[in-house]
């Protein structure tokens, strides 16, 4: 017996447009996927770096870019610790939620597209 199935698109066009419009690079993509899985949490640079297995310098540059785009918010507590969390903008929140829900192949496809877009930017 053959059953009918509807194949969903690999990547939501709105999500892809959001990433292009915000000029998101691959490191920022990974940060958004990580923070999107914990949307209410606040993380220090050290925690994000350890969780992602990357250096703080590269991560810091990517976080600054996301803060400037108002996607991530930095908070300073009374002890001088800077933490980072997802912006509370409804539009941003919904895109990041969808991004964190992508399976491995969908995320890989989107990351490949970001890599191609980055290469095109360098050629200009």
Q: What does the pLDDT read at residue 56?
A: 79
Confidence of residue 120 (pLDDT cuts 50, 70, 90): low
Per-residue pLDDT reduced to its tens digit, 43-90: 999 999 999 998 878 898 999 999 999 999 999 988 899 999 998 887
Domain assignment present for 113: yes
What's 38's domain CATH number?
1.10.10.10
The residue segments making up the domain with residue 41 are 13-123
Say if 8 falls within a structural domain. Answer: no
**Quick check: is 7 in a domain?**
no
Exposure on the CB side of residue 56, measured as CA atoms within 13 A: 5
Cβ contact 72:42 at 8 Å: no
Residue 4 within a domain: no
Q: What pTM does this model have?
A: 0.78
Count up the domains in the chain and report the number.
1
Identify the three-state secondary structure at position 106. Answer: helix
Whether 69 is covered by a domain: the verdict is yes
Q: Rg of the Cα trace of the chain?
A: 16
The DSSP symbol for 45 reads: H
């Amino acid at each position: 017996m053959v059953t009918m199935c509807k194949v969903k698109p690999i990547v939501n066009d709105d999500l892809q447009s959001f990433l292009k419009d915000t000029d998101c690079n691959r490191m920022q993509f990974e940060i958004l996927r990580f923070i999107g899985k914990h949307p209410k949490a606040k993380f220090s640079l050290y925690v994000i770096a350890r969780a992602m297995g990357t250096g703080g310098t590269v991560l810091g540059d990517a976080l600054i870019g996301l803060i400037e785009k108002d996607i991530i918010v930095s908070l300073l507590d009374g002890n001088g610790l800077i933490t980072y969390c997802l912006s509370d903008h409804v539009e941003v929140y919904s895109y990041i939620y969808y991004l964190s829900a992508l399976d491995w192949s969908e995320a890989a496809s989107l990351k490949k597209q970001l890599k191609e877009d980055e290469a095109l930017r360098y050629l200009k």
